[in-house]
């Protein structure tokens, strides 16, 4: 079944606790890029959508993932779901 992550005793899984702690540290642009990344957009598609260069999109993605402690796109999807950023 797709949906919410199973909760463990003590609250959210460690990756989500770390991501929640750093959520406020994302710039508005990093949040936009991370949200588009969670929707499955490529760096090129993100650049087109936000009217920025691909290199700038890559930098925003890298910075957001670093701040979130996300190693994969799946981690970014979990963060976006936890913060109700996916419609």
Q: Which two tokens stand for residue 61?
A: 């993605």
Look up residue 5 and give its DSSP letter.
P
With H, G, I as helix, E, B as strand and everything else as coil, classify residue 2.
coil
What per-residue confidence (pLDDT) applies to 1?
A: 42
In angstroms, rounded to a whole number, what is the distance separating the alpha carbons of residues 72 and 1? 21
Question: What is the CATH class of 24-82?
Answer: mainly alpha
Question: In the chain, where are the structural domains located?
Answer: 24-82
> How many residues can be counted in the chain?
87
pLDDT tens digits for range 27-79: 999 999 999 999 999 999 999 999 999 999 999 999 999 999 999 999 999 99
- Alpha-carbon 52 to chain mean position: 18
CA terminus-to-terminus distance, the chain: 18
Predicted TM-score (pTM) of the model is 0.71
**64 or 13, higher pLDDT:** 64
Give the list of residues 6+ apart from residue 39 with CB closer than 8 angstroms, or none.
86
């Amino acid at each position: 079944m797709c949906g919410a992550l199973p909760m463990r005793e003590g609250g959210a899984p460690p990756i989500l606790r770390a991501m929640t702690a750093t959520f406020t540290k994302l710039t508005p642009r990093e949040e936009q890029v991370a949200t588009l990344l969670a929707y499955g957009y490529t760096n090129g598609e993100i650049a087109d959508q936000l009217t920025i260069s691909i290199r700038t999109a890559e930098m925003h993605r890298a910075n957001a993932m670093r701040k979130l402690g996300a190693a994969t796109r799946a981690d970014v999807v979990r963060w976006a779901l936890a913060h109700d950023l996916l419609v």
